Structure 1
Amino acid sequence: MREIERQQKEAEENADKAFDMYAADGPSINRVSRVATSTASPRAASSILNTNNYQSSRRNSVDSLDETTPNFRDFRMELKDLEEKFRKAMVQNAQLDNEKAAVTYMVELYKDKYTDIEEELMHVKREHKESGRENEKLKRLLATQKLECTALKRELEDRDKLIEEKGLVIISTEQDDWNESSDQSNNKIKRALVSVENAQLLQDAGEGCLDVRLKKFTEERNSYLEEINQLKLELQEAKRHSDSHYNGTDSDDLEDAQKETNKVLGDYKFKWQKAEQDISTLQANVARLDSQVVRYKTASEAAEKAEDELKLEKRKLQRELREAQAKIEELETSNMHLLKRFDKLKNAKSSLLKDL
C-alpha cells in the first residue's frame, strides 16, 4: 500500500514538473525566434529557420506532452479509484477474516459441545447397559423365586395328598371355622394334623381352640380319676362296712358287687388310658404340625417378600429404562440439530473461501 502511494506521488510530481517546464519555455522560444528573423542575415535566417523548425518540432512534442497531460490526470483518477477499491477490498478482507475467525470459533465450540454430548451419550448408554444387566439379574432371581414357589406349592399338594391317603384331617388350633371362606381368609391360623377319630372327638368336645379342647379332655380325665378314686374309697368303705355290719351277708352278693365295681373301674381306666393316648397323639401332632406350619409360613413370607421386592425393583428399572431412552432420544435429536448447524457452518465457510 505504501509502495503504491509512493509511486503515485512520484508520477504526480513528474507530471507537474513537465507541465511547469512547458509553461515556462513556450513564450521565450517564440520571442527569440521572432527577433532572430528580423535582424539576422539570410544565412542566419536560414539557421534561424532551421532553429524555428527545431523549435516547431519541439513545440509539437510539447503539444503532444500537453495532450498527454489529461492522460496523467485520468491515470491519477484511476489510481485513486484503484486505491479506494483496494482499501475497500482490504477492509472487506479484514471483515471476512474476522467472520472467518468467529465462524472458526463457533465451529470449535460446536465441536466441543458435540464431544460433550457424545461423552454424555456414552455415559447414558453405559448406565443403560448396567441397568439392563441388573434387570436381567433380577429377572433370573425372580425366575428362581418362582421355581421355589412352584416347588413349595408341589410340596403342599403332596402333603395334602399324603394326608388324604393316610385318612388324616387338618384342624385349626385356634377358633374352629369349618367353612371354606373362613379357612381362606385366615391363612395364618395355626393348624394340626389328626386322625378322623380324633377329629371327631375334638369336634364332640365343643367349640374353641385346640388348647381349650385338650384342656376339656384333661379336665374330663381328672374328673374320671377323681371319680375312680372316690369309687375306690367307697368300695373300701363298703368292704369295711360289710365286714363290720354284714358278716352274715351272702358272699355271692358281695362278689357280684365287687365284680360290678371292678368292671366300672376297668371301663373308666380304659377311657382314661385312651384319653391319655389321644392327648399325647394330639400333642405330638400339634408340635410336628406347628414346626411344619412355621417352616412353610417362613418360606412363604420370604417368597412373598422377595417377590414384592423384585416387583418394586422391576418397576424401578423399567422407569429408569424409560427415562434413559427418553434422554437418549433427546440427545440424539440435539446431536442431529448440531450436525445440521455444523454442516451449514461448513457450507458458509466454503462459500466464503470461494468468494475470497
Structure 2
Amino acid sequence: MGSQGPGRKRTPSKNGLTAEEDALNVIAKEAEARLAAKRAARTEAREIRMRDLERQQKEEDSERYTRISRRHASVSDDEERMSVGSRSNIQLDLDAAGAYGGLPQASSYQSHKKSKKKKKHSSKTEDCSSSVASFMRSTASISGLSRDLDRVVIPDLPNVNGRLSMVDDRLERDYLEKGSSLASTISGATLTSLGGTSSRRGSGDTSISADTEASIREIKDSLLEMEEKYRKAMVSNAQLDNEKTNMMYEVDTLKDSLMELEEMLFETRRELEEKCKDLEREKHAHSILQFQFNELKETLKQSEELLTEIRQLRLKQDGYFREISDLQETIEWKNKKIGALERQKEFSDAIRNERDELRDEVVQLKDILKKHGIVLGPDLATNGETGEEVGKADQNSQTASAEIREGSSVLEIRLRKLVDERENLIEQVCFWQLLYIDFVLILCHYKQDFLFYSVQVKRLKGQLEQKKQKNGIEEASSPEGDVLENGTDSNIMDIQRDANRQINDLRFKLVKSEQEVTAHEQNVTRLEGQVTRYKAASENAEKVEDELKAEKRKLQRELRSALDKIEELESSNSHLSKRLEKMKSGRATATTP
C-alpha cells in the first residue's frame, strides 16, 4: 500500500571512522533492516488479504448462481401454490373476516407474505452480498477508476444481515399499513357479499383477486425501491470502505514517511554529533591559533621595541655623525684659520726680512761713514737734521718694530695653539684608529698562531703515535730488547725529548697567547665601558641641555608675561596721568574767575 523510500544517503566521513561512528552505522543498518522487514510483512499481508478477497468473491459468485437457481424454482412453486389455493384461501379468509371482523384474514395474509418476503430477502441478501464486488467493478470501469478496484473491501456478512434486518422491519411496517387498508376493503366486500347472492359472490372473488394482485404489484414495486435503496446503501458502504482503505493507505504512507523522518532525524542527530566534534576540533585549533597569535603579538612587540631602540641608536649615530661633521667643520675652520695665520706669518716674515735688510744697509752705511770719517752723534742725522728729530724717528721706528714684534708674537702664540689642538685631535683620531687596527691585527695574529700551533700539536701527536706504533712493532718483532740500548733507542729518546720540548714551547706560547687574548678582551671590555660611560655622559649632557632649554623657555614665557604686565601698567599709568591732567586742568579752570 505504500511505496518504499529511496533509502538513506550517508555522507562519508572525512577524518576516518571512529568507534562511535561504527556503532552508529551498525544501529542505522539494524534500523534499516527492521524497516525493510516491516515493509515486506506489510506487502505480504496485503497480498494475502487480496487473495482472501478474491477467494471469497469466487465462492460468493458460485453460491449466488446456486441460490438464483433455487430461488427461481421456489418462486415458481409459490406461484403455482398461490394460483391453485388462492381462491380457497381467500374464501377462508373472507369467512374468518366475517366471523372476527376481518383481522385474522389480514394476519394470515400478512404471515404468508412475510414468509415469502423473508425468503426473498434472504435470497436478496445473498445476491447483494455476492454482487457488490462485480457492481463496484462495473462502476469503477465506467468512472475510469480501475486502479482503485483492488482496494475495494467487501463488507462482512453480519453487517449486511443487520442492515437487511433493518430493511425487513421497514418492509413489515409498510406491509402492515397496506394490509390494514386491504383488510378494510376486504371487510367491505365481505359485507356486500354476505347480503348478496352466489353470483355476486363470484364477482366479489374476482374483485378480491384483482385487489390482491394490485397489492402484490405495489409490494413488488416497494421491494424494487427497497432493493434500489439497498444497492445505494451498499454502494455508499463500499465507498466508505474504499475511503477507509484509502485512509489506511494514507496512514501506512504517513507511517512510512514518519519512519523516513525518524531516519532523517537520526541522520541529522548523527550529523549534529559530527558537527559538534568538528566544532570541538575547530575550537581546539582556534585556541592553538590564539596562543600562536599571542606569541606572535609578543614577538611583534619585542621587534617593535627593538626597532625603537634601533631608531634611537640610529638617531644617536646621526648625532655622532653630526658631531663628527661639526668637528670636521671646526677642523676645517681651524685649518683655514691656520692658513690665514700662516699667511700673516709669511707677511711678518717678509717684513722682518726687509727690516733686517734695512738694518744691514744702515750698518753698511755707518761703516762707510766711519771710513770717510763722518761720525754720527746722538743729536745729528746724516741728512743734516737735528738730533731730536733723529731721536724721534728712532723712537718711532722702535715702537713700530716693538708693535710688529708683539703682533707677530700674539699671532704665533695663537697659531701654535691652533696647530697643537689640531695635531692633538689628529693624533687622537689616528691613535684610536691605529689601536683598533692593532687590536684587529693582534686578534688575527693570535688566531693564526693558535691555528698554527694547534696544527703543529696535532702533527706532533700524530708523529708520536706513529713512532709509538713503530716502537711497539719493533719491540714485538725484536726478541732481544736490551741489545738496542745504545742504537736506535738513543735516537728515539732524543726525538722524544725534542718533541716534548717543542710541545712545552707550544703550550707556553699557547698559554701566553691566551693570556694576551684575555688581556685584549679586558681592554675591549674596558673600552666598551668607557664608551658606555661617554654615552651616559652625553645622554646626561643632553638631558641637562633639554632641562636648560625648558628653563629658558619658561623664563622667556615669564619675561613675556612680565613685559605684557609692564605694558598694561604703563597704559594704565598713562591713562591715570591723563585723568590727573584733566582733573588739574578742571581745577585750574574752576579757580580762575
Q: TM-score range by the shorter chain?
A: 0.3 to 0.5
- Give me the TM-score of the superposition, normalised by structure 1: 0.36
- Give me the TM-score of the superposition, normalised by structure 2: 0.24
Structure with more contact order per residue of length (Cα contacts < 8 Å, sep ≥ 6):
1
| Max Rg structure | 2
